[in-house]
Amino acid sequence: MSNQHYQQRNHKKHTLHLPKRIILLRHGQSAGNLDNSAYTKIPDPQIPLTPAGLAQARLAGTNLRHLISRSSSSSHWRVHFYVSPYLRTRSTLREIGRSFSKRRVIGVREECRVREQDFGNFQVEEGMKVIKETRERYGRFFYRFPEGESAADVFDRVSNFLESLWRDIEMNRLHHDHSDDLSLIIISHGLTSRVFLMKWFKWTVEQFELLNNPGNCEFRVLELGSGGEYSLAIHHTEEEMREWGLDSEMIADQKLRAHGNRGAWDDNCPCYLDTFFDPLADSDDNEYEDSDDKTPSDASSISA
């Protein structure tokens, strides 16, 4: 790569105008949430919201508008929606949309890659109970439902979606006026949202297994911090994050992301090393500091 090309890419990176926040929202209460037998006779993508779910979605729209308008740096704020193609997520979006005027919404896109985990086709209620018990023993992330997906499969397609999302931002495919305060709102499903957070924050499988599913129409706000990184700790409290299943190291990471410079947490948050290694020494053994060429066998022969 030429120096000129590198400088152009570096300049582009530094002038990139990022969304102020990325908001993950689970759909409202569905017929399947209320009664599991719905999955035995209605295709999962066609499961509707209940009346309570519709009311939850309308309230979520009010809460989202209040959050965005209150925390935006100016009155020039906009939203862009991504929505799973399932009926319950699209119905949630429709109710949320009642809280936003046309001039506030710069776009909406149906996105198949943020759909629900595939559990197979029509579900057999008794059989699904056994399958879910087996999943608990096997592990939620790697267990694949017969004729369906594992959370690891969902991780792969969410990862692919994130690559597209970054290209949309970088190439301004969202038609975002850089003077506007932009929020991306992704209306999806419980497991898909957890997998999104896992991928975004580089959480391990073990950390993913700690996470609790968000409730219907609950949302998680990733907000851009002063150091150029997104964090859950700007909008949400430590108590909330603990309720979601984040442990102390994950919460410490979020706090560093909220205010630290890009990459600062790599030096300050021990979880990235301690997760994979036994405690490492702070420095090399003094025995080898004077010579880079000495191997352990060299040292032992010298001392002999």
User: Which position among 95, 116, 149, 223 bears the catalytic label?
Assistant: 116
Instruction: Find the mean pLDDT for residues 57-75.
Output: 92
For the question of residue 27 being annotated catalytic, the response is yes
**H or E, element range at 222:** strand 219-224
pLDDT of residue 2: 43
Is residue 215 domain-resident? yes
Is residue 266 domain-resident? no
pLDDT of residue 132: 84
pLDDT digits (tens, 9 = 90+) for 145-200: 988 999 999 999 999 999 999 999 888 888 777 768 999 999 999 999 999 999 99
Is residue 121 domain-resident? yes
On the question of pLDDT at 124 being above 60, the answer is: yes
Is residue 79 domain-resident? yes
pLDDT of residue 122: 83
Percent of the chain with pLDDT over 90: 65
Is residue 75 domain-resident? yes
CATH number at residue 38: 3.40.50.1240
pLDDT of residue 295: 52
Rounded Cα distance between 222 and 197, Å, is 9
Instruction: Give the number of other Cβ atoms within 10 Å of residue 277's Cβ.
Output: 8
On the question of pLDDT at 246 being above 80, the answer is: yes
Is residue 161 domain-resident? yes
Total length of the chain:
304
Instruction: Give the number of other Cβ atoms within 10 Å of residue 63's Cβ.
Output: 15
On the question of pLDDT at 212 being above 70, the answer is: yes
Is residue 9 domain-resident? no
* 261, 236 contact by CB (below 8 A): no
Instruction: Find the mean pLDDT for residues 77-82.
Output: 96
User: Which position among 27, 80, 176, 236 bears the catalytic label?
Assistant: 27
On the question of pLDDT at 211 being above 80, the answer is: yes
Range of the domain at 106: 17-224
pLDDT of residue 86: 98
**What values do phi and psi take at 146, rounded to 5?**
-55, 130
Rounded Cα distance between 268 and 265, Å, is 5
Is residue 83 domain-resident? yes
Percent of the chain with pLDDT over 70: 84
**Number of separate domains in the chain:** 1
CA distances to 1, 286, 296, 304 from 289, in Å: 36, 5, 12, 19
